Amino acid sequence: MTDTETAGRRPARADRQGRRPASGAESTVEPPSKRRRRLAPYFFVAPYALFLVGFGIAPALYGLYTSLFTDSLGAGTEFAPLGNWGEVLTDYRLVDSARNVATYVALWLPSMLMLIFAIALVLHARPGRFAAAMRFVYYIPGAITGSAAALLWLFMVSPQVSPFSPLLDLLGVENATEAVSANTPLILALMGIAIHAGGWILIVYAALAALPRDVLEAAVIDGASSWQVAMRVKLPMVSRYAALILIATFAAGTQVFVEPTVLATGVPGQISSTWSINQLAYYYATQQGDFGKAAALSLALLLVGLVVALLVIYRTKFYRIDRGLS
Q: Identify which of residues 139 and 155 has a Cβ nearer to other proteins in the complex.
A: 155
Cβ of residue 294: shortest distance to other proteins, in angstroms? 10
C-beta of 107 vs 180, nearer to other proteins: 180
User: CB of 258: closest distance to other proteins in angstroms?
Assistant: 10
Q: HSE on the CB side for 190, CA within 13 Å?
A: 14
Q: Tell me which residue of 196, 220, 206, 198 sits closest to 325, measured CA to CA.
A: 206
* Closest C-alpha among 175, 142, 121 to residue 249: 142
Pairing relationship of beta strands 76-79 and 69-72 according to DSSP bridges: antiparallel
User: In whole angstroms, what is the distance from residue 259 CA to residue 144 CA?
Assistant: 12
Cβ nearer to other proteins, comparing 208 with 267? 267
Q: Which residues bind other proteins (CB under 8 A)?
A: 71-74, 76, 91-93, 145-147, 154-155, 158-161, 174-177, 181, 265, 267-274, 285-291
Of 72 and 226, CB closest to other proteins: 72
Alpha carbon 40 to its chain's center: 29
- Least CB distance from residue 182 to other proteins, whole Å? 8
Evaluate the CA torsion angle 205, 206, 208, 209 in order and state its sign. Answer: positive
Backbone angles phi, psi at 77, to 5 degrees: -85, 130
CB closer to other proteins out of 67 and 274: 274
Quote the least distance from Cβ 104 to other proteins, whole Å. Answer: 17
In whole angstroms, what is the distance from residue 145 CA to residue 213 CA?
Answer: 39
